[in-house]
Structure 1
């Protein structure tokens, strides 16, 4: 059927014919060709783009005279009149003095100059992509002011703005051609692992802060918009090839490859197609931190050692040696003993990979701006995700399929996003169950205890060994015959474990979750502009959770639920267009929660005789619905059991635990069955137990999170200097986060009887709940950026970001905010696009202040770090090519932005781009 539709559209397309041909060349004031300049017939969407040499050919059914508008990012636009068929024209573009003239769409869902945006917005266009010194355009985004990137993996970088960052960043949204790029089951974006090829990107816009009034529940802390090139405007075949190497202290030097190709063709002014393919491969950043965060300075010689990037040693038990042999208490004592673990490098290969493909059909039935688009995107990759544990993401696939109808005044689109976890697995449970496949916990700990007791008492030797030597011999005996990494026996066992989806015996997680989404927007401005600009829109989404019980409590079949929303925006310009008022409101409803209104009001005032200063003020309310995992997760993560708080989820999670001998004597049973509800209704707070005064706690079920955001900003263009500064203040209600609690395996928390015995005997389990903070959370910060032309035509930029939050920890000791953002950041850039003919360069520097990292895997300090990236490029017009030599973190000082991740090293590369 799809083939038939393609042929039909092709036949319709070739039936059209051009009556007028215009040929031309676009260059700058120095006579250098300007590639990828847009050439559009004024009043229509009919146009083309210039090639690498600045040449273009426009064929149209328009009859002269008509006017062409020629635009390119970084240049002022110009118009030229076409008076005859087969006319040849030469166009010279003047370089724009400011990025503030660039057009953005995201802030108000309608085109407007960045200078006139009512809220803060960052833009990264074709010029910036070409000149980025990072190894990829996505990595180059971290040079924008107010933007943070936390590196989880070579192929997984997590973007965030205005604090509260994590790799599972559910507060930040990423849209690719209007489609939410979130992995439906994971609830977050995997960077650009399955996103867009750099050849396909036309522009990127980032809205820092809350944007719920126009974009709904997911637009809570910021949005990234990736917009692709239209095949009507960007035609031809282009390609790039990068090769080089990564360098890291822990992993040494390893090869790095990145390749992409794009093909686009407009068969007529009605029909066009495009396709993209890209492939990236390299050695991932190795995680080799063996520190025991709970016992700093400890080594494996400690009986209860638990190394950060050592897995399997989380399995421990309290061995009471006196009780085991009937000796008086205090004779041999007792000790917490953990099993011997495996290093992360024993459990996975560090082959990072990303493969992205997409295909689009664009049809304009009336040869005007009304367009019908089908777009299919498929991405597959290998990466590492750090959440509660470190997850080896292997052969992960994300698909998106979109059908859209649009013109300059409206769009209606529907798409489906689905993921397949492939062969992904949990490295912690891989280690735990490799150990258990070899020797069960009971047998191992029994051997350990028997050996320790014998060594201490001198059984068979008559020599009573010191405690530390007895522990060493006990571990040696219990580990006899242990599977050794690199041997065929170890690999066979590991392969068996990571293909088993039952975390009691395996480590594989299964996820085929999807969501279906539809949204629409209509801008009435062409009808109402005499009064005000009016816009309406809405959206609907249905989730379908499908993990076969390995992540969610969907053991009996997929879980479905939905949400919807609608919005209205009014915009009016007054006082000779010096005052712009924008008001918008959105209503959203999730089937589990009450509906929520998100209003936004902004005022923009333009000042100065040359209209080169403006001040903006905005206030808005926003909200964030609990994620699929907040509601329906049911996962034993090793350190804690995660239970979502949807009302019908509390009874879905049922687990059986083995009791200690003391517990068995009390209950008369070897096991205890616990339902997830106990984590919310029958538990002790962790902080009270640590303080020695156990207190029962009931955890409220999670509710939507709310924000009230205030922002004030100033923009100015003063000669060749552009200034953009802003400050914000956010208050949060019902702030969503996690708390850990201790669930007794018998008794009722607070009964001062059985439950206290359970604590005493170690018959407790750690559960992680999803809830809201009863205390207020506040965050505030500021950014200032300066862009200037200096020393002639050199580009110089510098920006500074300040971020801070406040939270009354004493009012909720077990609450974790996970702000995870440095107080201070400084970024600077210096470069020239044409230092001499066809030669350019760019240097980027970033400094980050030290900060505290808090997340489910581990907490700890992040030292301050500095990073220097640089590139030089040389264009060869005769080959339509650009060659680039560059590197990120070229000073070679390894750093990390989160506790437990691989240490980020350097990437050095050379690239060749044809017809960029």
Structure 2
């Protein structure tokens, strides 16, 4: 039908030509400026001389021609008839002239945005020095980034940071870019290719009223370039230390007046950062761990397979001995390359001058390391995402689907694996029996059993000879165990064979293979009505998860169906300007329905008052309520990590005992006798199924600009959380029931950590870790300040400061808050353009206070960090080429962001940027 209408439409109209030139106040042409008729997709861009030519139809009356360029005020000209001598002069813009869409899902001036929002321009994006876009956002106010490795980064605002970003949402043209299996974003892995980024907007604080659950602490929205407005070819090539090679490309072209095509993507390869933290794992993670350097051995943060055995009899009774284990570098076995490939083609068709249809697709694949409950090596992993969208001036309808994967499902192909499992299962390999003990022992034993027996015998023998010198006996026993019962040595043929078998084995409990094959489907729509009474926006969305892991992560099975989960919601927002547009009032609300959690309502109310005729001083205040749905992992995980079994918690809850009972049983097993039942009952644990987490947030702020030179943005917030979601460890049965005294007695000998009891039977009583709601109110507060002063185009000095504090100090036993945010941090920077905009530069100094980092993998202190990033670019206009030199962490200072992950070291590069309009 459209094919029939389009030719008719083109015959009915009489397009006429409009042309002119766009320049600066100094008379310099502005190539690449966008020239479009407001309310339509009809327009184009200027050439190298700043000239443009567009066609228009005046049959329906005057037209509004909008002319814009990054860093300059947008000019709108009303045209009553064709004009081929237009001369448009653009003036440098004030920060408050920026238009944002993320805060209210409609275009609005940043000065009258009711919440704290940051807009990062295309030029600022191009100046980011990190290989991944998200990793470079730490220079902006209130943003925390957490890098698990060189290309795997998450972001957060206002506390409760993690390597998974489960309290924020990350969107690319409003499409969620998470990998559905992990509820994680992996930096910009599935986001907009960097050369196609028009701008990035970050909303700080709750935004569930418009975006639904999990827009809990913030929203990151990446806006891509419009192929109709920004055609041309851009290529960027970079090379640097760590064997960095990076190539990015974007090509966009208009095919006639109604069709536009673009393709963007790139490839990055470098030597990854490798974690090597040899500190002792916190006893919150590994109960009964020994201190670092102990001759009994100890569980180190970045060692895997350093399993512990608690002895209940003999000379070692009450002591825990740990295996030597393997480092991350040894297990990766030389495969330390990180790489990322991405391609994103898109086709847009104008059905009318104001209605557009878009079909696009993204494919991404990466080798990287990710930290969650363990460290995971992702090999040939990534996602496919496809979208169909129809949008007009004030409405849209879209649907998209995301399919993630982690290498081939066929065990013969390469795929992703769990480093913790790899280290542990290497210790179960059969080795010759070196234990000179009781007769009848088999010729071969699992390495771990062999080691512990040799250790125990030599410890006992040495202690008998030297009396009470336990430490000397432990040192002697460790030396002898390493000599007589050595573990498989990295680099040997036996090690390589065993490693290869384990990382390709997808069988839960036997191999380390991680299989991801989940799907996220979403459909949404929105309509905005502007009238004299109020501007009203309504919309809705439906989201479906289909979770699949072949039993390697979720409670699904290899041959079973994917786990289904859904949520849907609808929202409405109304805004009204009063007092000659100096006061803007807005209210929004959203109702969401969840398969596992019922219905929730998220409201937001706000007011913005602007002073002065130019409205350059703006005071804002808002109240928001948001809900966080537990991640798909929190709902359906089933993962035995040895020290604990991680289980989903959406059914009937769990009964059990606190982990303190485990330590008590080592020294006092008689507590299990009937006569001490009341004392045993004091250790009981009872946890219901998960509920939605709720935050009530109050925010005030002030945003202003003076003389178009000094920009100020300050904010303060206070958050109060109910049903706060944290992790809870307890001793329980895998079916959720409370263990009997018999089960407690049988499991105490292995501290409830081994899946198998001493008699060889399966151990159903384990340390269990679940996501659970904390039965107390949790409170936090924070503030932020941004200052920027433009002395001249060649010099702008900027800085920002952020304060975050967790007001709640005491949590229930066994609970971790995962606040993971420094109390104080700041940035100081300078940037500018000179020599007729041919030379550009920026330098940024970042300081972050030390803070406690908690996770299910590791808990410890992240030390204070000071880093410097810098970049210089020089454009040779005749060659349309920019030479770039830059570096992240110029002085290679310690820069740990996630406890248990590697420090993010120096990455320097030299590059060329080709930009042909």
Is TM-score (shorter-chain normalized) higher than 0.5? yes
Q: Distance in 1 between matches of 2:459 and 2:578?
A: 84
Give runs of aligned pairs for residues 488-887 of structure 1, distance below 5 A: 488-525=493-530, 529-555=531-557, 556-647=560-651, 680-686=654-660, 689=663, 695-719=683-707, 720-743=709-732, 755=744, 758-759=747-748, 762-763=751-752, 765-790=766-791, 793-809=794-810, 812-834=812-834, 838-887=838-887
Deviations 1:113-148 (A, max 9, x none): 101111111101112123445555433322211111
Q: Distance in 2 between matches of 1:893 and 1:172?
A: 29
1:269 deviates by 2.3
Q: Distance in 1 between matches of 2:696 and 2:736?
A: 43
What's the counterpart of residue 201 of structure 2?
Answer: 205
Deviations 1:509-528 (A, max 9, x none): 11101111011101011xxx
Structure 1, unpaired ranges of 5+: 246-253, 323-330, 651-676
Q: Is 300-309 or 515-524 further displaced after alignment?
A: 300-309
Give runs of aligned pairs for residues 424-463 of structure 1, distance below 5 A: 424-439=416-431, 440=446, 441-454=448-461
Q: Find the residue that maps to 1:431 and give its secondary structure.
A: helix
Retained in 2: the 8 A contact 1:312–1:431?
A: yes
Retained in 1: the 8 A contact 2:714–2:785?
A: yes
Q: Distance in 2 between matches of 1:554 and 1:876?
A: 57
Q: 1:11 to 1:863 in 2, by over 3 A?
A: farther
1:101 deviates by 0.8
Q: Distance in 2 between matches of 1:400 and 1:776?
A: 39
Q: Distance in 2 between matches of 1:515 and 1:136?
A: 24
Q: Distance in 1 between matches of 2:471 and 2:908?
A: 55
Question: Is it true that 1:153 corresponds to 2:149 in the alignment?
Answer: yes
What's the counterpart of residue 378 of structure 2?
Answer: 393
Question: Is it true that 1:74 corresponds to 2:60 in the alignment?
Answer: no
Deviations 1:608-643 (A, max 9, x none): 344221111100111011221111110012332100
- Of 259, 264, 275 in structure 2, the residue corresponding to residue 271 of structure 1 is 259
1:750 deviates by 8.4
Q: Distance in 2 between matches of 1:911 and 1:434?
A: 43
- Of 262, 270, 273 in structure 2, the residue corresponding to residue 285 of structure 1 is 273
Q: Find the residue that maps to 2:819 and give its secondary structure.
A: coil
Q: Find the residue that maps to 1:698 and give its secondary structure.
A: strand
Q: 1:763 to 1:636 in 2, by over 3 A?
A: closer
Q: Find the residue that maps to 2:642 and give its secondary structure.
A: coil
1:683 deviates by 2.9
What's the counterpart of residue 320 of structure 2?
Answer: 336
Q: Find the residue that maps to 1:87 and give its secondary structure.
A: coil
Deviations 1:712-767 (A, max 9, x none): 11111211211111111110000111111123799986877763674367456321
What's the counterpart of residue 347 of structure 2?
Answer: 361
1:36 deviates by 3.0
Q: Is 72-81 or 381-390 further displaced after alignment?
A: 72-81
What's the counterpart of residue 440 of structure 2?
Answer: none
1:49 deviates by 2.1
Deviations 1:71-107 (A, max 9, x none): 11210122456788793544332111x2121000111
1:26 deviates by 2.9
Q: 1:818 to 1:534 in 2, by over 3 A?
A: same
1:409 deviates by 0.9
1:412 deviates by 0.6
Q: Give the paired residue count.
A: 855
Q: Find the residue that maps to 1:199 and give its secondary structure.
A: helix
Q: 1:12 to 1:838 in 2, by over 3 A?
A: farther
1:205 deviates by 0.5
Structure 2, unpaired ranges of 5+: 284-288, 408-414, 432-445, 668-678, 754-765
Retained in 2: the 8 A contact 1:746–1:754?
A: no
Retained in 2: the 8 A contact 1:438–1:483?
A: no
Question: Is it true that 1:308 corresponds to 2:301 in the alignment?
Answer: yes
Q: Distance in 2 between matches of 1:897 and 1:770?
A: 23
- Of 470, 487, 490 in structure 2, the residue corresponding to residue 485 of structure 1 is 490
1:65 deviates by 7.6
- Of 13, 23, 34 in structure 2, the residue corresponding to residue 38 of structure 1 is 34
- Of 88, 93, 112 in structure 2, the residue corresponding to residue 91 of structure 1 is 88
**Structure 1 length-normalised TM:** 0.88
What's the counterpart of residue 756 of structure 2?
Answer: none
1:452 deviates by 4.1
What's the counterpart of residue 441 of structure 2?
Answer: none
Q: Distance in 1 between matches of 2:8 and 2:146?
A: 48
1:287 deviates by 0.9
Q: 1:168 to 1:10 in 2, by over 3 A?
A: farther
Q: 1:256 to 1:62 in 2, by over 3 A?
A: farther
Q: Distance in 2 between matches of 1:914 and 1:27?
A: 22
Deviations 1:214-254 (A, max 9, x none): 00012111000011111111112211111111xxxxxxxx2
Retained in 1: the 8 A contact 2:881–2:915?
A: yes
Q: 1:710 to 1:290 in 2, by over 3 A?
A: same
Q: Distance in 2 between matches of 1:465 and 1:297?
A: 13
Give runs of aligned pairs for residues 179-194 of structure 1, distance below 5 A: 179-194=175-190
What's the counterpart of residue 375 of structure 1?
Answer: 360
Q: Distance in 1 between matches of 2:282 and 2:704?
A: 51
Q: Distance in 1 between matches of 2:485 and 2:750?
A: 26
Q: Find the residue that maps to 1:491 and give its secondary structure.
A: helix
- What CA RMSD, in Å, does the superposition of the two structures yield over aligned residues? 3.1
Deviations 1:357-386 (A, max 9, x none): 1111101112x1201111111111111111
Q: Distance in 2 between matches of 1:777 and 1:194?
A: 33
1:30 deviates by 3.6
What's the counterpart of residue 405 of structure 2?
Answer: 420
**Structure 2 length-normalised TM:** 0.88
Q: Find the residue that maps to 1:475 and give its secondary structure.
A: helix
Q: Find the residue that maps to 1:189 and give its secondary structure.
A: coil
1:485 deviates by 1.2
Question: Is it true that 1:476 corresponds to 2:482 in the alignment?
Answer: yes
Q: 1:201 to 1:195 in 2, by over 3 A?
A: same
Q: 1:400 to 1:792 in 2, by over 3 A?
A: closer
Retained in 1: the 8 A contact 2:793–2:832?
A: no
Q: Is 701-710 or 683-692 further displaced after alignment?
A: 683-692
Q: 1:299 to 1:530 in 2, by over 3 A?
A: closer
Q: Is 554-563 or 56-65 further displaced after alignment?
A: 56-65
